[in-house]
Amino acid sequence: MKNITLAIDDDVLKLGREYARRHNLSFNGLVRRLIEQTVYSSSTAWLSDTFSLMDKNPVSSGGKKWKREDLHRG
């Protein structure tokens, strides 16, 4: 694990430490968790966006079922 240095406003640092303490975390653990959540959630955000678009689309198959061969006509 790598160590990094951050520049954080004094007020934000104070509030962050208080928040971390209330949630039984170290400030370092809080920052690590927030970065992990941001990085991992954005890497899968495309999937949620895709399903959201599909749900908004009024197109229907009308109950028709396709076989793989039907979808790949040469």
The string of pLDDT tens digits covering residues 12-52 is 999 999 999 999 999 999 999 999 888 877 777 778 888 88
Any domain includes 59: no
Is 15 a member of any domain? yes
Q: Is 31 within 8 Å of 6 (Cβ atoms)?
A: yes
Q: Which domain holds residue 36?
A: 8-41
Residue 12 included in any domain: yes
How many domains, the chain?
1
Of 18, 20, 40, 15, the residue nearest 30 (C-alpha): 20
47: in domain: no
| Helix spans in 1-74 (H) | 10-22, 27-56, 68-71
Question: What is the predicted pLDDT for the residue at 56?
Answer: 86
Task: Specify if 52 maps to a domain.
Answer: no
Per-residue model confidence (pLDDT) at position 11: 97
For residue 33, is it within any domain?
Answer: yes
The string of pLDDT tens digits covering residues 52-71 is 888 888 787 788 888 888 77
This prediction's pTM? 0.55
- What's the CA gap between 58 and 51, in Å, rounded? 13
